[in-house]
Amino acid sequence: MKMTGVLTPVVTPFDDALKPDADRLVNQCRWMLSQDVGLAMFGTNSEANSLSTGERRMLLDAVVDAGLPAERMMPGTGLCNLPESIELTRHAVERGVGGVLMLPPFYYKGVSGDGLFDHFARVIEGVGDDRLRIYLYHIPPVAQVGLSLELIERLLDAYPGIIAGIKDSSGDWNNTQAMIERFGDRGFAVFAGSEDFLLQTMRAGGAGCISATANINPAAIARLARDWQAEGADHAQAKLSETRAIVQGFPMIPALKATVARHSGDEGWARVRPPLVALTAGQREQLGAKLDAVGFTMPGLKEAATA
């Protein structure tokens, strides 16, 4: 079963010792699902690369053990090194996830397509489980190591069924479109990396989007992914982009967490791990005022956060 629609890299809550807080995360994930948004936990905007491998395992276990549907989960399991990428991916598959979102190894720069192919191939063969569904994660602005169309084709040829799709966070619509055109008819699910491209993606035959701002604006984004053929879709797209542009005026992860803190009434949500830095009080006030001005709300969050 393909994953489609909207997913979000769920922001990761920390306690006052900066340890990840599984209870807060479970409540947040439950709320995301209630808004029809799937769980791409341990993405870039989840501060996943600020978590240890053990912490990722513990948090995934907590969310699955809480009874949330694993088939709606697409945890990030791609690290720079093979053994831990295999370990995390196998663990996720064993917990029944719908798929995993996999970064390429991102420390060495200028690496070859052959080397990247070999890395993914060894992860797949190391996991050795037919239930594995890999969504590749193309995010050159951050990882600085991208995934070419040639590499994707080679992986699809070698591992059809297992290579299930991609999140394209290049910010380059031409690239997203090329992926849909070239691989869409092979069942390859292309997710835009931002809801700014959601309507274009749906119209071109893509699968949906996996977006950071779906952490705070989930219902409206999920609605457009469902109703993209209805009248008013262009207007709905413009509204989504308006909200996103406000958040993008601030450092993204601290801004998302500050917004969750504000609307849940739980100040602890504002914490980030270094090297990130929380918004200042002034930034938080500005962000809140700008979102208020466009009528932004997070209905049901407060109740979910204190469930």
Which residues of this protein are in contact with its own copies, per CB under 8 A?
Answer: 18, 44, 49-55, 80-84, 87, 104-109, 111-112, 114-116, 118-119, 122, 141-145, 273-277
Q: Least distance from C-beta 108 to its own copies, angstroms?
A: 6
Residue 285 neighbours by CB under 8 Å, 6+ apart: none
**Closer CB to its own copies, residue 48 or residue 305?**
48
Neighbours of 52 (CB within 10 A): 10
Q: Which residue lies nearer to its own copies by CB, 35 or 169?
A: 169
Kindly tell me which of 72 and 257 has the beta carbon lying closer to its own copies.
257
From the list 34, 98, 44, 41, the residue with the least C-alpha distance to 72 is: 98
The pair of three-digit structure tokens given for residue 51, joined into one six-digit string: 């978590």
CA distance 135 to 143: 16
Q: What is the greatest pairwise CA distance in the chain?
A: 52
Nearer to its own copies, 71 or 114 (CB): 114
Instruction: Please check whether residue 10 is in contact with residue 214, taking contact to mean a CB–CB distance below 8 angstroms.
Output: no
CB of 20 to its own copies, least distance (A): 10
The two tokens of residue 10 are: 């769920």
Shortest reach from residue 289's CB to its own copies, in Å: 23
Instruction: Return the CA Rg of the chain.
Output: 18
Distance from C-alpha of 97 to C-alpha of 161, rounded to nearest angstrom: 15
What is the helix (H) or strand (E) element at residue 225, kind and residue range? helix 218-226
Nearer to its own copies, 126 or 268 (CB): 126
Q: Return the number of the residue (82 or 204) whose C-beta is nearest its own copies.
A: 82
In the bound state with its own copies, the residue whose beta carbon lies nearer, of 51 and 287, is 51
CA dihedral 86, 164, 146, 212 (to 10 degrees): -90
Report, in Å, the least distance between residue 91 CB and its own copies: 14
Rounded to whole angstroms, the Cα distance separating 302 from 306 reads 6
Kindly tell me the burial class for residue 292, based on how many C-beta atoms sit within 10 Å of its own C-beta (0-12, 13-18, 19 or more): exposed
